[in-house]
Amino acid sequence: MSKDPSQTTVTEIQRRVAAQWEPISTFFRELCAIPSIAGQIEAVGKRMAQEMESLGYDEVRFDKMGNIMGRIGSGPRVIVYDTHIDTVGIADPDAWKWDPFQGKIEDGVLFARGAGDEKGSAPGMVYGLALARDLGLLDGFTCYVFGNMEEDCDGIAPNTFVEIDPQVRPDFVVNGEPTRMKVYRGHKGRVEMKVVAKGRSAHAASNHLGDNAIYKLLPVIAAIRDMEPQLGDDPFLGHGKITVSDIRAQTASLNAVPDEATIFIDRRVTFGESRDEAIEQVRRLIPAANQAAGDIKVDMLFYDIPSYTGFVFPVDKYYPAWALDENHALVQAGQAARTALGLPAAPTGKWDFSTNGTYWMGKANIPSIGFGPGDETTAHTVNDSNRLDDVVKATEFYALLPALL
């Protein structure tokens, strides 16, 4: 059962946030204006650090991986506000009718790379915790804002937070991925894998002397296309998904038979589906003759790419499904905060995509919820966007929540 906030506290939070509309929204625009593609977050992390230092955080620093963290308080209960501040690239530059980083504001909405996914939560988290401190709402808490890299490997940053630096295991986590200002409490997991076929090279003019590796994968691709109805289902998380997301060939030239071909698979797993089962399902799609010959193999992907600081944290690219019980105190506190702040009543929800929650709750079993401005359906598109009023309004939620736990 969550605590009942006083109307005086809520009114004061809302008054102070309204007074800071301009600096919060400006800070948001400045974060989006700094490119931070593919984990290159040093520059945007420094801008976050500058803001946290100006607001009087007790500690502000980069961790070994290169994520930025700000701490307020030193109490026994620990809460982490998780906001990933890296983004995907801009893809086709001609698809953007405005500067993708400076963005444009139209009808109170900022359109810019990272506006929705996920720089929209960072300003509210940074300002919200400082406001909560000023109002005496953080007694007994140690609170972190954790601006991290997530796009290339979900959960790797929180994994290092717990195990490497600062080696802190929080009691609660709030994930700022876009939730349309609702409380989310889970999502499907993910297994990334590859299927590699080996063939034999030959000149294309004498292709009968070769063994085309691309052709070997065609029945596997067709079977993957048709298998989704047979995958698992869960009443909350939904149905499993599978996608061939990339294909690559190794060939001596464009007039040669490819001697190797690889497809990459994104497999979204729901409750009741394991990592090993997901891999074995794909393995069973390999034709018997190729299984006997051993010329097509399935493997899970592995991540060991150095961060911009040179830090390496090797992990399998497996991200478990997770969901926090609707009656958990953190979920109830989130819903109580929404009600107190006058947001429209709404049931808890879930993401369709994957987040750092796959480590916090999926692997480490640390109670986690999501709350953030924006809509995940605009993520990774030219319509990546967020309402400025929602970015500022989210500050109220982040300020009030600890007092309800």
Residues with catalytic annotation?
86, 150
Instruction: Report angle CA 243, 248, 254 to the nearest 5 degrees.
Output: 145
Which burial class, exposed, middle or buried, applies to 371 when counting CB atoms under 10 A from its CB (0-12, 13-18, 19+)?
Answer: buried
Q: What is the CB neighbour count within 10 angstroms for residue 20?
A: 17
Length of the chain: 405
Which residues are within 8 A (CB) of 214 and not within 5 positions of it... i.e. 6 or more apart?
197, 199, 247, 249, 258, 261
Q: Which amino acid is at 53?
A: E
DSSP state of 234: -
Check residue 229 and give left, alpha or beta (phi > 0: left; psi -120 to 50: alpha).
alpha
Cβ contact 386:374 at 8 Å: yes
Distance CA 31, CA 41 (A): 10
